[in-house]
């Protein structure tokens, strides 16, 4: 494969190379604009986006990525027209109904994150089914952020801690970052190393607010339906060139 301009792309690190991000988050944006630029209804962009999702999940697994979080429907997306919400809900239904078997066979573990209580009963049941069916799988972990908002997730975690304090099980003085993280939907999952957002928007839009504290961001101009294997590899390559310091000093720097 060649990069743009005929320059050969540098090889990617192999799956067990520590430079392959353990956890990638993707804000799959631009389905509507992809469709509108072709004179198609927005729903056609969402449908095409599912194809990009399938190839990205497959390729992330092939590259040895441990965790992939996909932002599918945000807590704020309820403000869209009812017809678009209905089409996004149907798409999730169809994705789980059509792809769960294949994901399970590919050893993918599916973990839904986000609020469940305001979803339709059948969607809740499908999310539970996806989680239960794949619980024992040991390949790629696919976190499906559906009806998810980072602020909502943190607020729900705080409520759970407050309930434990009220029950007399927890001393408020014991509440620290670790304890709060244990109440998030992502408890036990390492933070995203790399967050990719498509479609040229340079913002988080309430995606993994807590977990993104030290994530590297790669913003790509492509709309989500155009995202492919080469786009994923290019983002990982860019990630490999970043110098992550986590508040410390660059490797090899001793100060002075």
Catalytic site residue 121?
A: no
**Hunting for tokens 């007399």 — which residue is that?**
168
Task: Choose among Mg ion, ligand IPE, none what residue 137 binds, the Cβ cut-off being 5 to 8 Å by kind.
Answer: none
**Nearer CB in complex with ligand IPE: 78/214:** 78
Q: Is 87 in the site for ligand IPE (CB under 6 A)?
A: no
Shortest CA distance to 208 belongs to which of 135, 138, 141, 144?
Answer: 144
Out of 13, 19, 22, 33, the only residue in the binding site for ligand IPE (CB under 6 A) is 33
- The residues, any chain, with a CB within 8 Å of residue 222's CB and separated by 6 or more, are 30, 198, 199, 231
Q: Is 233 one of the binding residues for Mg ion (CB under 5 A)?
A: no
Find the catalytic residue in 16, 17, 29, 122: 29
29 is an interface residue for Mg ion by CB under 5 A: yes
Mark whether 241 is an active-site residue: no
The Cα diameter of the chain in Å comes to 65
Site membership for ligand IPE, residue 29 (CB under 6 A): yes
CA–CA distance, 193 with 20 (Å, rounded to integer): 9
Contact 18, 193 (CB under 8 A): no
Identify each DSSP E strand in 96-182 by its residue range: 109-113, 141-148
The residue from 31, 77, 137, 171 that is catalytic is: 77
Interface residues with ligand IPE (CB under 6 A)? 27-33, 71-74, 77, 88, 199, 201, 203, 205, 224
* Residues classed as catalytic: 29, 77
């Amino acid at each position: 494969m060649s990069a743009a301009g005929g320059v050969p792309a540098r090889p990617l690190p192999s799956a067990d190379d520590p430079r392959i991000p353990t956890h990638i988050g993707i804000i799959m944006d631009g389905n509507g604009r992809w469709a509108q630029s072709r004179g198609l209804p927005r729903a056609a962009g969402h449908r095409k986006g599912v194809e990009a999702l399938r190839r990205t999940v497959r390729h992330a697994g092939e590259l040895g990525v441990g965790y992939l979080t996909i932002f599918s429907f945000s807590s704020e997306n309820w403000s869209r027209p009812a017809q678009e919400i209905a089409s996004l809900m149907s798409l999730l239904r169809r994705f789980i109904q059509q792809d769960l078997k294949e994901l399970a066979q590919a050893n993918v573990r599916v973990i839904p994150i986000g609020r469940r209580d305001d979803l339709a009963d059948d969607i809740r049941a499908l999310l539970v089914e996806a989680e239960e069916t794949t619980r024992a799988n040991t390949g790629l972990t696919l976190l499906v952020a559906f009806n998810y908002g980072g602020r909502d997730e943190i607020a729900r975690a705080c409520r759970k801690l407050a309930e434990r304090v009220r029950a007399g099980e927890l001393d408020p003085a014991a509440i620290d970052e670790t304890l709060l993280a244990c109440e998030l939907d992502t408890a036990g999952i390492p933070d995203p190393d790399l967050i990719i957002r498509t479609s040229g928007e340079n913002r988080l839009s309430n995606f993994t607010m807590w977990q993104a504290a030290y994530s590297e961001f790669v913003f790509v101009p492509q709309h989500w339906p155009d995202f492919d294997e080469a786009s994923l590899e290019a983002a990982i390559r860019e990630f490999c060139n970043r110098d992550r310091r986590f508040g410390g000093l660059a490797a090899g720097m001793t100060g002075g």
